[in-house]
Structure 1
Amino acid sequence: MASIDDLFRKPIALPKRKLEDPTKAFSNALSNKSAKLAEGSSPRSSTNGSQDATASNGSNGRAASVEDEPLDDQDAVEAGPSRPSQGVEDDAGDDEEGRFFGGGVTKQEREVIDYIDKNESGELEEKIDAAWLRRTAINFERKINKNAELRAKYESEPMKFVGSEADLDAEIKGLSLLSEHGELYAEFVKIGSVGSLVGILAHENTDIAISACELLAELTDEDSATTEEQWNILVKALIKADVVDLLTSNLSRLDESSETDRAGVYHILNVLENIMSDTDNLEVVGANNAMLEWLLSRIKKPDPDARAKVGQNRQYAAEILAILLQSNKRNRDRLAQKEGVDALLELVSAYRKRDPEKDSDEEEFAENLFDCLACAVEERFAGEKFVEGEGVELCLIMLREGRLAKARALRVLDHALSGGNATTVSIRLVDAAGLKTIFGMLMKGHKMERSLVEHIIGILASLLRYLPGGSAQRIRTLAKFVENDYEKITKLVELRREYKARLSKADADIRREREGLSKAQAEERADEWLSRRLDAGLFTLQAIELILSWMVAEDNGARQTITILLGEDGLKVLERSLKDQLEGMDPGGGDEAKATEEMLEALILCVES
């Protein structure tokens, strides 16, 4: 008995109906008629007539035929039907009843053939709608079930199920059309195909799993033709189907020495990035310990064949890690618990004196490493690890000797000095002789990028806030402000004028836009206007005024200098600024916000007196 595979591989010999030549019957009739005419008979002739004709032909008794007639010129005789007259052509190419076309096919058959040809050549467009999705989903399920059945039945004979895997792979790729039709995402989830697609990630054949990853990347991509609501419906269904766990398990089994597997890792990271574009999903991905461990190990693993040993996937892993840490405290704590801060410090130390090649994967890799570090050190536990790992000292070395790393190291220090472990970091910075470096950069402010100046202002404000009162480190810091005839304070007042002028221009533009708007319309644009004020330097201006207020409170000589430098309004300028900052505080901000309120109230009293 033939196997199923044999039946599929060998064409079945079906009986063929031979189409007869439509001229054959006409030719046969003509031949018979010619023979009878040669005999002198007709359908109506008598038997006797036939006998006489036979006798006259001689003794052989054979009836005379056309073939027996001697022909002097064979070319002069035409056989068969006569030619059609010149200039006459059958428009339809068929007979009077429309039964036959050239090649012996009927009109209906020709229409079917034309339809198939158009479909194969792509001229015939398939309608992508709910009906198409249901048909495709049914075929998808059938291919999954058939492959699973054959794999279970012929576990040790791969050749017997390899064909079903090729069919399944083609079916997965065919679903990519769905990315252009976001209106079908809800139906795709409703009919249960999301669970089946995610389940494919666990397929024994990694090529099949990689195809599923590629499809998921397309469906969740920001360029897919979806609305936010449609995208959310799909992503929530994917998370519910444990897509993160299955993606992580694939990362551990793919071998990046293979080009196919390397592409698979890229698609997995792409899916994770797409999912985390909604910050609500950061916790879902970060809570997967295996995922976080893989990312940390991957950024530490050099790519031997890549330039500077940083390939696309190593860079991408650093980017995913940076996204995870951006605005999620728990993920930052998880990183610190896995010795992630030490790993990051070790990796960024390579850029103390060396810059990565411009516009390369390594440059983006380095940027992402510094982003990870800046985010992590805002938390208390990670800040402690940063100090223990001599992160403050490393950043100061980069400020003195680095080039590209200088701006990034300054940003890391700014975040660490305003984070949960700010007091310890502040003390360590002073003890590590960091004041000379920071104040030296302040005095060169006009030669630096605006972002560098703003980080320096942030660091100075944090030092005055977090260094313990009466400590040696605080006294050394205050001494730096007043040395050389208060030149640092003079520089800060100059910077305040620059930022005040920039902010005043933005405020004037906003006032013009506000004119004629109703209260409701103004409220709608409030966030936009605040963003523009921040871009103009509102936060830095407030930080400068906070530093000046601290110096008014700490040193009488600084108080007199600042009063003179600020002009007619004197200290009233600082008082108004401190009150504005106090009014802008979020009443439910927690312990940190409460401490900030108390500091502002104390400074207001000092400035008023």
Structure 2
Amino acid sequence: MSKFPEASGLGHGDMCKQFKLVKLSCRNTDAINKCDLVISAYYTTHTMTSIDDLFKKPFLPSTNGSTKRKFEDQDAEAAYKSAKLDPSVDDAPEDEDEDMEAGPELPPEEDEDEEGRFFGSGTNQHTNAALDFVDRADDGADVKVEKIDAAWVRRLGLSFERKINKNSELRAKYETDPSKFVASEADLDAEIKSLSILSEHPELYKEFAKIGCSASLVSLLSHENTDIAIDAIEIISELLDDDVEAEQEQWDALVEAMLEADLIDLLLANLDRLDESVEADRSGVYHSLSVLEALSSNPTTAATIAQDPILKYLLNRISATEKSVSQNKQYAAEVLQVLSQASPAVRDRLIPLDAVDKILQLLAAYRKRDPERDSTEEEYAEDLFDTLTCLSQPSAGKSAFLLAEGVELMLLMLKEAKFSKTRALKVLDHALSGPSGQPVAEKFVDAAGLKPLFSTFTKRNLEAATIEHILGIFSALLRLLPGESAHRIRLLAKFVEKEYEKLDKLVILRHEYSTKARNTEDIDAGAATYCLNTLDVILSWLIAEDAGARAKIIKGLADRDEGVDTLKKSLQEQMAGIDAEEEGNVGEMLTALIECL
């Protein structure tokens, strides 16, 4: 009896073909080996002749006549009578089924495929029978799930170290004959990629670092084969990725071990030898930038890694001439922005490297031209603006900004650009912040910045961000420009011209932001509160500076059942909420305004 009852209805050759089709569709070694066993067993059962049969049946006829087949003598009379007794054609009964069609039998009808023939399984019933047989064999096998714990990490680490050592030994022994160590290199490559599973188990990061595997992984960045180094970078990037749900303690343990293994210097050395015209090397640069970005997420780590060599590399990379902005060029700009925002120490290191001047030169391209919407270049330009915003906050950054004619470039963008307009206002807002912003404020007035600023303010349907930055600039100019100076007189004249139309808009905006700030369910309530406080400072300054402005503002507030006391209360609340760093400068200003009111 056949050991393969599923094969009934199929010839031996057909069934073996089906098993071979199944083998071709297999994706792993275990399944392929299983199919080979099935095919071998099937051949053995159905096609192999027994040894006894081979000796019992001669291949050639015997020479004597004893074994020759004998035919019985035919009776001629019986044959004649038999022929006469058979009915003739005319006497044959009529077939009950007159509609029977001749020809081969049609194949059995199959259920219609609801999704169409292009969405079917791609197999027929015979192939399905073979697949079912293999599946039943799989069901009987015991699948052992490996437990991923500290012991597993130690075994993984031991295997990893062995692969590294073996490859290192063979490379040293057969330095001039790559064929001797290429197999060990392939094994090492596979072992590196197997470490990817650790990103799903961050609870094992500490153990991975403790047994020294993190340091060994970092050391592979200096491997002679750049493919090995790139694989190591990619795994490090995966382990440090923000998407990994690692606790801070787990993340810190891994990062500390990697930094101690000289990760940054090896990363930088590797960046210098990668050729971005090659796809694999370009990927290596991308993952290297990903590692830097991940390390920049922590202010302490950001200050540690952002040394001059890394900062110089990033500045050179964002300045590289390209036909169109590449992904890596944009990514370098993004990493630079994250670093500059993460730590004041990083900003202090970037400014002496002429970062402000270099970024202004790159942004000059967008004075009249807008980058394509939702493009890599648009992201690149936004990252440059954000970095410049961060660098213009320190006192040294403001000086560099003035020296590189940053105020003039931002004003040109305010007049001519579309994409850059709001971003230029943001840069100016931050450049005017703090007590060291007075030179910037005076330069702003000297460079004829008041006209485009107030012209933009009077336009309708402004974006919320645009209004916020304009109000910030108004407040800074009123705070920084010396009293009775020509610069301040020119500023006040802009507020009161055209029958105080700017004051009317300021009062209207105050009412709108007051309503938004009271609505705690509004997601923009925080931004509305900031703008409301800024407006109260501006209105208080104008009341104190000009009698005509005072009367106009008080009348506008009275129309909404508000008055000077409303502004005074707001200033007192701001006074109570300032921190120690702002207390000296801002506190003094608020105290003076409260007394004036």
Work out whether the TM-score is over 0.5. Answer: yes
Whichever residue aligns with residue 347 of structure 1, its letter is L
Alignment of 1:210-359 (within 5 A): 210-286=230-306, 288-304=307-323, 309-359=324-374
Residues 1:555 and 1:420: Cα distance change in structure 2 (over 3 Å): closer
Q: Is the 8 A contact 1:383 1:419 kept in 2?
A: no
In the alignment, residue 355 of structure 1 is paired with which amino acid? D
Question: 2-side partners of 1:273 and 1:129: how far apart?
Answer: 29
8 Å contact 1:325–1:372 — kept in the other structure?
yes
Give the stretch that moved more between structures: 462-471 or 422-431: 462-471
Q: How does 1:79-118 map to 2 (within 5 A)?
A: none
Question: 1:552: which partner in 2?
Answer: 543
Deviations 1:426-451 (A, max 9, x none): 0000000000111111111x321111
Q: Does residue 521 of structure 2 align to residue 534 of structure 1?
A: no
In 2 relative to 1, CA 273–327 (structure 1 residues): closer, same or farther, beyond 3 Å? closer
1:600 lines up with 2:590 in the alignment: yes
Measure the CA separation in 1 of the matches of 2:49 and 2:519. 98
Residue 281 of structure 2: SS of its match in structure 1? Answer: helix
Paired position in structure 2 for 1:57:
none
Matches within 5 A, 1:363-378: 363-378=378-393
The alpha-carbon distance between structure 1 residues 74 and 202, as it changes in their structure 2 partners (threshold 3 A), is: farther
1:505 offset after TM fit, Å?
Answer: 2.2
For the residue of structure 1 that corresponds to 2:374, the secondary structure is coil
> Percent of pairs identical after alignment?
50
The answer (yes or no) to whether the contact 2:471–2:534 under 8 Å persists in 1 is yes
Cα distance in 1 for residues equivalent to 2:50 and 2:477: 111
Matched, 1:563 2:563: no
1:447 alignment partner, SS class: coil
Q: Deviations over 1:208-249 (max 9, x none)?
A: 110000001111112235344433332232233332222122
Q: Are 1:477 and 2:491 counterparts?
A: yes
Where structure 1 has 5 or more consecutive residues not aligned to the other structure, the ranges are: 1-20, 32-66, 76-113, 511-530
Contact 1:461 1:546 in 2 (8 A): yes
Matched, 1:417 2:432: yes
TM-score by length of 2: 0.75
Q: CA RMSD in A?
A: 2.9
Counterparts in 2 of 1:395 and 1:72: CA distance versus 1, 3 Å: same
The separation in 2 between residues aligned to 1:387 and 1:335, in whole angstroms, is: 16
Query: Is 1:72 the equivalent of 2:67?
Result: yes
d(CA) in 2 for partners of 1:548, 1:268? 51
Change (3 A) 1:118 1:260: farther
1:505 aligns with 2:505: no
AA matched with 1:500: S
Q: Distance in 1 between matches of 2:498 and 2:318?
A: 47
Q: Which moved more, 1:162-171 or 1:273-282?
A: 273-282
Alignment TM-score, normalising by the size of structure 1: 0.74
- Give 2:476's match in structure 1, choosing from 462, 473, 483: 462
Alignment of 1:478-497 (within 5 A): 478-497=492-511
Give me the whole-angstrom Cα distance separating, in 2, the residues matched to 1:401 and 1:413. 16
Q: Give, in angstroms, the shift of residue 135 of structure 1.
A: 1.8
Structure 2 partner of 1:528: none
Q: 131, 140, 148: which is aligned to 2:151? A: 131
Preserved contact between residue 310 and residue 362 of structure 1 (Cα < 8 Å): yes
Deviation string 1:238-287 (CA, Å, 9 cap, x unpaired) is 2333322221221112111111111100010111112222333221221x
Relative distance call for 1:222 and 1:582 in structure 2 (3 A) is same
Matches of 1:480 and 1:118 in 2, distance apart? 84
For structure 2, list consecutive stretches of 5 or more residues without a partner in the other structure: 1-43, 57-61, 71-133
Of residues 176, 196, 208, the one that matches 1:156 is: 176
Partners of 1:325 and 1:375 within 8 A in 2: yes
2:450 is aligned to 435
Aligned match for 1:187, one of 207, 211, 216: 207
**More deviation, 569-578/242-251:** 242-251
- Post-superposition Cα deviations, 1:100-153, rounded to whole Å, max 9, x if no partner, equal xxxxxxxxxxxxxx9xx979x997654433333222211110111112222222
Structure 2 counterpart SS, 1:418: coil
1:24 deviation in Å? 12
Contact 2:519–2:525 (Cα < 8 Å) also in 1:
no
**Amino acid aligned to 1:451:** A
Determine the C-alpha separation between the residues in 2 that align with 1:273 and 1:440. Answer: 40
- Report the secondary structure of 1:326's partner residue: helix
Secondary structure, aligned partner of 1:448: coil
Equivalent position SS for 2:519 = helix
Question: Structure 2 CA distance, aligned partners of 1:243 and 1:573?
Answer: 57
Matched, 1:140 2:135: no
Question: 1:133 & 1:205 partners in 2: Cα distance?
Answer: 26
